[in-house]
Structure 1
Amino acid sequence: MEELLQVGVITSTHGVRGEVKVYPTTDDATRFKQLKHVLLDTGKETLPLEIQGVKFFKQFVILKFKGIDNINDIEKYKRCPILVERCDAVELEEDEYFIADMIGMAVETEEGKEFGTLKDVIETGANDVYVIDSIEHGEVLVPAIKECILNVNIEECRMKIHLMDGLV
């Protein structure tokens, strides 16, 4: 399981005092109000940052980090992911999973036949759609609904699915 989970990506600077616009990659953007510390993945290293201020603008979160007070200090971090440690992650409801824990999961049919590997999760308005790299069918899109997803086992990194007519 992943120990660091992505909650957003810096898209641009906001003003000249070191604030940044963040595109949230979490289901609940208001969670930034409760976060005190985050990690910035620069590609070369992971920088710990303390959140000093949080505002919301359209679909973005505006963050101010302690000690970064100038646009020049933060500009180089555009397109960098913002991460949290698993201990700071939101509590999941029953049958909810972190996408990072699911990617790469082995997928099998209800008969126990190996079907493929979970490659991506597309978040739509109604339900998520799992992108499965199938051994014999190529890329298969499976809706994340109870009729199709029979079992998800994060510990064993396995998923059991029912293939409805027309999916392959």
Structure 2
Amino acid sequence: MVKQFLEAGRIVGTHGVRGEMRVEPWCDSAEFLKKVKRLYFDEGRTDAGLIASRVHKSQLLIRLEGVNSATEADLYRGRVLYLNRDSVRLPKNRYFIDDLIGLTVQDDGTGAVYGTVREVFETGANNVYRIENERGEEFLFPAVDAMIAKTDIAAGILFVRPIPGIFNDNAETIAGEGKPDDAD
């Protein structure tokens, strides 16, 4: 099920004495989050009253309606902010992590089903998907263009082109390749 409101970040503290708050972004960057003009509390049920936002280092500084001092701002510490997916445009072949969790992972060539995406790790070079099969085995899959054929959020399927051995398929065959015969 596609969620309309997605977690955008958490208020982690105050900044200055005039009610500005520091937000730890849970998306690509503070710059990405700054483009969002309306943020919400309570899983999208309450408009946060965003007045202004600006990037400071790796965080987003925000001002909310009715918050005019550091003391008032501190009351919001720990609150999670949400964004409405309709207010954000993602580049082609980019997806919300919430939409990737739960996708069935299927081989684009053979149709073999490898499991379900359970978690997405953000690394410096590329994301890594933690995939779990029905036996509870876990696999780490690099989310690189060469290995992802298609992402179909509506159908709930991630079509992949895995390198041999990544899902323990044919692991014995791969390990045995190139070995000389023992027969004399």
Question: Which residue in 2 is equivalent to 1:121?
Answer: 120
Kindly indicate which of the two structures has a greater share of residues assigned to strand: 1
Contact kept in structure 2, 1:54 and 1:63, CA below 8 Å: yes
- Unmatched 5+ stretches in structure 1: none
Question: Which residue in 2 is equivalent to 1:39?
Answer: 40
1:103 equivalent in alignment to 2:101: yes
Deviation at 1:137, TM superposition (A): 6.2
Correspondences of 1:52-131 after superposition (within 5 Å): 52-89=51-88, 91-110=89-108, 111-131=110-130
Correspondences of 1:145-156 after superposition (within 5 Å): 145-156=144-155
User: Higher RCO, 1 or 2 (CA under 8 Å, sep at least 6)?
Assistant: 1
Q: Distance in 2 between matches of 1:137 and 1:164?
A: 21
> For 1:39-58, what per-residue CA distance to the aligned partner results, in whole angstroms no more than 9, with x for missing partners?
023x7x84312222323322
Task: Give me the TM-score of the superposition, normalised by structure 1.
Answer: 0.84
Q: Distance in 2 between matches of 1:147 and 1:7?
A: 29
Question: Which residue in 1 is equivalent to 2:10?
Answer: 9
- Unmatched 5+ stretches in structure 2: 168-184
Question: Which residue in 1 is equivalent to 2:178?
Answer: none
Identity percentage of aligned residues: 29
CA RMSD of aligned residues (A): 2.2
Kindly indicate which of the two structures has a greater share of residues assigned to helix: 2
Task: Give me the TM-score of the superposition, normalised by structure 2.
Answer: 0.78
Larger Rg: 2
Contact kept in structure 1, 2:39 and 2:50, CA below 8 Å: yes
Contact kept in structure 2, 1:149 and 1:162, CA below 8 Å: yes
Name the count of aligned residue pairs.
165
Deviation at 1:118, TM superposition (A): 0.6
The amino acid of 2:25's aligned partner reads P
Contact kept in structure 1, 2:27 and 2:33, CA below 8 Å: no
